[in-house]
Structure 1
Amino acid sequence: MDELMSMMNQLADGETAQVAQSVQEIMQESIVPAVAAVVLGLVICFFGLKLIRVLAAITGICIGAVAGAALALVFGLQGTAVLAASAVGAVLFACLGAILRRVGGFLFIWVLTAGVLEWFLAPGTVPFHLICLGVGLVIAVITAILMDPIIIVLSSVGGGIVAGLAVSALPGLDLNILLTYGICAVLAILGIVVQFMMKSREVGKKEKRYSESVKEEKSVETEVEKARMLLEDDPADLETDLETDLEADGEPEEKTEEK
């Protein structure tokens, strides 16, 4: 709890580089956080678009918790009040991210992009932090407009980077920088391919369901049109057709009687 509060204070003060270093130290001390980061990175890499609402809700929880705690600290609150503000912010942002898909995509890509830039660049001054946040914000706005293709590409790249860096941080592994970058690149490419394939299948299923519904609708319209034409036929024509049918049915009997 003390480490969590310390990281929240660092985030509130804009010390994101120190937060990233603290997270990396925790991952190197224990295998559990590193494995969790690998799993999370792979999920984002291969299922970013499919699970966008879930990922957006998780992102909303993180953003809301940090924002609520930072706001409480700004107003001089301490202890339970900080935790309460953090909880309220987490619930609020999680609901926004999960319910509103574009808002969720915006928040998720913003945090993912800015986080990856912070991790790579490790900026030590406020202007560099603002640049990372600004670049992430611009990309997040583009994502909110175009949505699916951008989410696929960025989630694959971001998830691949997170998983690759987490693998290199596993205790007992000593990977050089080139091998780490290679793992990140391979995972990113595989994630893009897999996600676009899943998206293509989803679009194909939607088109198939739409074509079947159109055929069914046309069939119903055809049956209705036939029924309407029958109802609109002239009664005299119907009577003539009936007499013709009766005469046709009676001809065999008459021929039999003549014989």
Structure 2
Amino acid sequence: MDELMSMMYQLADGETAQVVQSIQETMQVSIVPAVVAAVLGLVICFFGLKLIRILAAITGVCLGAGAGLALSFAFGLQEAAVLAAAAVGAVLFACLGAILRRVGGFLFIWVLTAGALEWILMPGTLSFHLICLGVGLVLAVIAAILMDPIIIVFSSIGGGIMSGVAVSALTGLDLNILITYGTCAVLAILGMVVQFMMKSREVGKKEKRFSEAVKEEKSVETEVEKARMLLDDDLTDLDDGEETENNTEEK
């Protein structure tokens, strides 16, 4: 708990590089964070678009809690108020991310890309931090506009980097930077292929359902038209019969 609070204070002070270094040291000492990072990275890499609402809600929890903590630290609040502000921010951002899909995609891509840049580059100056956040913001805006294809690409790359680094650390191959980069690249490419295939299959199913609905509608229209024609024929026959009877009676 003390380590977590220390990291939060470091984040509030803009010491992202120190936080990243602390996380990496923790991953080297304990296997649990590396396993969690590997599993979460694989989920993001291969199911980023499919689970975008869930991932956006998780992102909203982290981002909202961080925003609440930053505000509470800025106003000099005490521990209970700090936790309350973090909880309120987490719930608010989680709801926004889960309910509003575009907002969720925006938050998820922003945190994912900015976090990946911070993790890889480990900037030491405030201007460098702002550049990472700015690049992530631009990519997040593009993702909010184009949505599905951008989310697939960025989630595959971000998840591939996360899981690739974690897997390399778990297997002891992280000392060879080329193997680590290669693992990240292979996972990212596989993630894109799998996600685009799932998206294509989903689009195919929607088109099939739409086609079946159109065929059913046309079939109903055809049956109605046949019934109308039969009714018109019956009415015509009835009118002809009445005219014949009238002619017979007149004679």
Q: C-alpha distance in 2, partners of 1:186/1:35?
A: 19
1:194 aligns with 2:203: no
Distance 1:16 1:193 in 2: 33
Instruction: Measure the CA separation in 1 of the matches of 2:49 and 2:174.
Output: 32
Q: Which residue of 2 aligns with 1:10?
A: 10
CA 66–226 in structure 1, closer or farther in 2 if over 3 Å, else same: same
In the alignment, the residues of structure 2 paired with residue 241 and residue 232 of structure 1 have an alpha-carbon distance, to the nearest angstrom, of 14
Q: Offset of 1:238 from its aligned partner?
A: 3.5
Matched residue, 1:209: 209
**1:223 matches 2:217:** no
Any gaps of 5 or more consecutive residues in structure 1?
Answer: 243-259
Instruction: Return the letter of the residue paired with 1:61.
Output: V
Offset, 1:174: 4.9
Structure 1 residues 151 and 174, CA, compared in 2 at 3 Å: closer, same or farther? closer
Separation in structure 1 between the aligned mates of residue 241 and residue 119 of structure 2, nearest angstrom: 86
In structure 2, what is the Cα distance between the partners aligned to 1:224 and 1:19? 70
Identity of aligned residues (%): 82
Q: What is residue 137 of structure 1 aligned with on the other side?
A: 137
Query: 1:3: Cα distance to partner?
Result: 1.3
Give the aligned length.
Answer: 242
Structure 1 Cα separation of the partners of residues 241 and 121 of structure 2: 89
SS at match of 2:170: coil
Structure with max Cα Rg: 1
Could you tell which deviates more after superposition, 166-175 or 222-231?
Answer: 166-175
RMSD: 1.7
**CA shift digits 1:84-112 (9 cap, x unpaired):** 11011000000000000000000000000
- The amino acid that maps onto 2:182 is G
Kindly provide the amino acid, as one letter, of the partner of residue 97 in structure 1.
Answer: G
Distance 1:236 1:84 in 2: 81
Alpha-carbon distance in 1 for matches of 2:56, 2:154: 14
Give the conservation status (yes or no) of the 8 Å contact 1:31–1:171: no
CA contact (8 A) 1:28 1:171 kept: no
TM-score, normalised relative to structure 1 = 0.89
Partner of 2:100 in structure 1?
100
Q: Supply the distance in 2 between the matched residues of 1:236 and 1:114 (Cα, whole angstroms).
A: 76
TM-score (norm: length of structure 2): 0.92
Question: What is the alpha-carbon distance in structure 2 between the residues aligned to residue 177 and residue 155 of structure 1?
Answer: 22
- Looking at structure 2, the residues matched to 168 and 126 of structure 1 have their Cα atoms a distance apart, in angstroms, of 30
* Structure 1 ranges of 4+ moved more than 4 A: 171-174, 239-242
Structure 1 position 78, deviation (Å)? 1.6
Say whether the 8 Å CA contact 2:173–2:179 is kept in structure 1. Answer: no
